Amino acid sequence: MKICVIGTGYVGLVTGTCLAETGNTVICVDNDKSKILSLKNGVIPIYEPELEEFVKKNIKEKRLTFTTDIQEGVNPSQIIFICVSTPPRADGSADLSFVENVARSIALYMNEYKIIIDKSTVPVETGQRVEETIKRQLKDKNIEFDVVSNPEFLREGSAIHDSMKPDRIVIGVSSQKAADILTRLYEPFQAKIIITNIKSAEIIKHASNSFLATKISFINEVSRICELSGANIEEVALGMGLDPRIGRQFLQTGIGYGGSCFPKDVSAFIKISEELGYDFKILKAVEKVNAEQIEFFIKKIEKTLWIIKDKKITVWGLAFKPDTDDMRNAPSIQIIEALVKDGAEIHAYDPVAMEKARSVLPEDVVFHDDIYSSLQGSEALVIATEWEDFKNADLDRVMALMEQPIVVDGRNIFDPSLMKEKGFMYTSIGR
């Protein structure tokens, strides 16, 4: 099929690339000229395992192209994905101005039947608004089209796997014609396809992310009880997670969720509910707990070290999660800002996120090119992201490099008994 993907951010680039990988002809459109030029040359603006390999392969096989000309993408394509940003406003609602502008542009260049798909995470009733926008723009033109909600469920760090082997595909439609075409489009992915109405599909996305965020905040609260009572949160989480009604995923305690999805989607779902006349009390608590968890961890560092001023502190992990360079809402930002405010000298290392981190962290943070150079003379090591490199670190070498063997682990990546045996003063979460 001939497909146009508008927006080459995280969702758009991965979606377009994976649809090309299954044999479709895909044109990706973006108004950022420098980004499009880079993509044409196979230079990927984000770090995501396997993505660069897939992009280069499909460019070479002429199934994937990039342009800044939206007409060039819309005209020949039967299916058009809207994958633009929906950033949060100050009140927590989603800014849909990019979606509206794209809808207007699509209508301007429509010449025959099209399926317009909202892939971006959008509030309920957005599909209806997109349809109304296109109809107004078309005016008297007699061109048939369908608007569809097809939310993405990609996890940064495993987005290619999640796209090629999804656990479900949700298609919110109002016509059988669009449902049949999209069912054929997604056949190669061999996944469970759920056909719903458009509003149900829109809510499925927000409800899914909000529920996962709720699990994270819940287990972080339980970790506080474990610390106060002397229980071990990892044993508690294991005992809970083996119940199939609960599940083990997202019961890993730590310093809270970050990234571009959970904070934005939880906030937006609260706002959507308010606009519909409902007070979503649980989600408000989820937000509050998440914010307090980072503050709790900062206080744990301060309590462990007593005096922060003039101490050299190493921070391992800057991205909000491993296997990505995404710094959006990364807990490391708030942690490092607090330590710098207290007068600490911060040395930092992350396997892939340091370039992006430079633009959002205090300018006096010292960045290192490898895991061990960051530790030389350090009086404390703070773990902010659970990269495999850190889990597999040579602890004897870590001990030898540090001025003081203090480790404050925000991700529980080390075994407390082993750390004690090695001679570290080790503090973690809920253990």
Query: What are the backbone dihedrals phi and psi of residue 160, each rounded to the nearest 5 degrees, phi first?
Result: -65, -45
* Cα dihedral sign, 325-328-334-337: positive
Active-site hit among 4, 28, 83, 261:
261
Could you tell me if 148 and 171 are in contact, meaning their C-beta atoms sit under 8 angstroms apart? yes
Cβ neighbors of 254 (< 8 A, separation 6 or more) are 216, 220, 293, 386, 410, 411, 412, 429
226 catalytic? Reply is no
**C-alpha separations of 113 from 33, 148, 290 in Å:** 29, 13, 45
User: Cα–chain-centroid distance for residue 104?
Assistant: 28
CA distance 390 to 384: 10
Count helices and strands (H / E) in the chain.
17, 14
Report how far residue 56's alpha carbon sits from residue 59's, in angstroms, rounded to the nearest whole number.
5
Q: Are 402 and 414 in contact (CB under 8 A)?
A: no
Torsion sign across C-alpha atoms 291, 294, 300, 302: negative
**Nearest to 27, CA basis, from 77, 61, 86:** 77
Q: Could you count the other beta carbons within 10 Å of the beta carbon of residue 406? A: 20
* Active-site amino acid positions: 261
